[in-house]
């Protein structure tokens, strides 16, 4: 029997410089799409995929994240008194039981691979997931759940994969595909942010991973890669090079790059439009605004 994936690592140590000054005093993972912080989307997705242990790799200045997941007795009491049961339910989703969530500090910003490696002692000898909260994926079946289901048949390592336009490919980890089996891809290797001329494909790694503990060993041996950082992509590529199975899954769903302002705004609009209570007013506003902008051009 394959071991179940019950642990997930959330690398949240980044400084979020692209969103300054908003992120000067709050972690970027607390920035909200409509009324729910980015990190809440990641946690909800992980829970729905069967994750029960949540490992946060943080850094200085991320205290607001710890508070976010804590119980809020005063707030709960007030809502109870006012009979605001729906808000109480919402609040419950953000509260983690003691022991369900752990925080590890990444002491130096040495890259995504290094951040994942910082959690090695908490993973021990089990497969684990990694979720990058910047990548928000709207899907009928949550992306990580799709991956866990596929992984139950394949084993090995698995990354979420998506075609990206060639002019954007160099911003991603790109897959070198050995066998294209439709939604599932078998991988020869992968390259982190190559120059356009060296891109093995325009199939990009999106921030969802299921990894074997061997990847953590590889990370311990790696030298700095693209951008002078320890790259998770390189540690997974090492698995493929040593003959172990690595897969990509073309997931069903719409991915938003909430690490960029434009992606964040697109996600905000899309998520707001999917709320019945906001839909009509926002549609009217968008139609009007787009109409008058077009007319002025
Ligand atoms: C990270 C990974 C990259 C991946 C991307 C997906 O890069 O290193 O392989 O394609 O996330 O969002 P980042 O965007 O953090 O630079």
Q: Could you tell me the domains of the chain?
A: 7-259 (3.90.550.10)
For residue 39, the CA-to-ligand 1 centroid distance in Å is 17
Ligand 1 close to Cβ of residue 162 (< 6 A):
no
Six-digit token pair at 212?
């074997």
Q: Which residues contact 150 (CB under 8 A, 6 or more apart)?
A: 158, 183, 184, 247, 249
Instruction: Give the containing element (helix H, strand E) for 123.
Output: helix 120-123
* CA 133 vs CA 138, 217, 225, 261: distances in Å: 13, 24, 22, 14
**Regarding beta strands 32-33 and 36-37, do their DSSP bridges make them parallel or antiparallel, or are they unpaired?**
antiparallel
SS3 assignment, position 181: strand
Give the residue whose CA is nearest to atom 14 of ligand 1.
172
Could you tell me the distance, in angstroms and rounded to a whole number, from the CA of residue 206 to the centre of ligand 1? Answer: 7
Give residue 262's pLDDT: 96
- Indicate which residue's Cα is closest to atom 15 of ligand 1: 112
- Which pLDDT tens digit goes with each residue over 117-130? 999 999 989 999 99
The two structure tokens encoding residue 16? 């979020």
CA of 257 to the centre of ligand 1 (A): 10
204 close to ligand 1 (CB < 6 Angstrom): yes
* Distance of alpha carbon 42 from alpha carbon 48, whole angstroms: 10
Lowest-pLDDT choice from 11-15, 203-207, 225-229: 225-229
How many other CB atoms are there within 10 angstroms of residue 288's CB atom?
10
The best mutation among 172, 219, 229 to test binding of ligand 1, ranked by most ligand atoms within 8 Å of the C-beta, falls on: 172
Max Cα–Cα distance, the chain, nearest Å: 64
- Give the pLDDT confidence score for residue 223 in this predicted structure: 84
Compute the CA torsion angle 111, 113, 114, 120 (nearest 10 deg): 160
CB–CB of 238/214 below 8 Å? no
Q: What angle do CA 25, 171, 111 make, to 5 degrees?
A: 55
Task: Indicate the top mutation candidate among 18, 132, 143, 160 to test ligand 1's pocket, ranked by most ligand atoms within 8 A of CB.
Answer: 132
Q: Are 127 and 114 in contact (CB under 8 A)?
A: no
**Short-list 238, 221, 217, 243, CA closest to 230:** 221
- Residue 97 banded pLDDT, cuts 50, 70, 90: confident
Average pLDDT value over all residues in the chain: 94
Residue 175 alpha carbon to ligand 1 centre in Å: 12
Site to probe by mutation for ligand 1, drawn from 18, 106, 207, 208 as the one with most ligand atoms within 8 Å of Cβ, is: 207
Determine whether the shortest distance from the Cβ of 236 to ligand 1 is under 6 A.
no
Tell how far the Cα of 110 is from the centroid of ligand 1, in angstroms: 14
Cα separation, 131 vs 154, whole angstroms: 20
Sequence-distant (6+) residues with CB within 8 A of 30 are: 37, 38, 39, 64, 65, 68
pLDDT tens digits, residue range 238-260? 999 999 999 999 999 999 999 99
The pTM is what?
0.94
Residue 255 CA to its chain's centroid (Å): 10
């Amino acid at each position: 029997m394959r071991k179940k994936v019950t642990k997930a690592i959330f690398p949240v140590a980044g400084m979020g410089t692209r969103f300054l000054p908003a992120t000067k005093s709050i972690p970027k993972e607390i920035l909200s799409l409509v009324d729910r912080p980015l990190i809440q989307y990641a946690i909800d997705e992980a829970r729905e995929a069967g994750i029960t242990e949540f490992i946060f790799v943080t850094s200085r200045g991320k205290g607001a994240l710890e508070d976010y997941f804590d119980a809020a007795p005063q707030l709960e009491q007030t809502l109870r008194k006012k009979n605001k049961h729906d808000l109480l339910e919402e609040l419950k989703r953000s509260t983690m039981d003691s022991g369900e969530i752990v925080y590890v500090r990444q002491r130096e910003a040495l890259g995504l691979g290094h951040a994942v490696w910082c959690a090695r002692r908490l993973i021990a000898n089990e497969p684990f997931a990694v979720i990058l909260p910047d990548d928000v994926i709207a899907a009928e079946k949550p992306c990580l759940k799709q991956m866990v289901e596929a992984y139950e048949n394949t084993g090995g390592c698995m990354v979420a994969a998506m075609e990206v336009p060639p002019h954007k490919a160099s911003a991603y980890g790109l897959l070198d595909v050995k066998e294209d089996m439709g939604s599932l891809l078998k991988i020869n290797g992968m390259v982190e942010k190559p120059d356009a001329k060296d891109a093995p494909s325009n199939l990009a790694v999106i921030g969802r991973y299921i990894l074997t503990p061997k990847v953590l060993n590889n990370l311990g041996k790696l030298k700095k890669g693209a951008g002078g950082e320890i790259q998770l992509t390189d540690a997974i590529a090492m698995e493929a090079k040593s003959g172990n199975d690595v897969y990509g899954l073309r997931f069903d769903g719409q991915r938003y790059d909430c690490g960029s302002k434009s992606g964040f705004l697109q996600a905000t609009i899309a998520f707001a439009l999917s709320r019945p209570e906001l839909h009509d007013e926002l549609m009217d506003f968008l139609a009007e605004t787009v109409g008058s902008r077009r007319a002025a051009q």
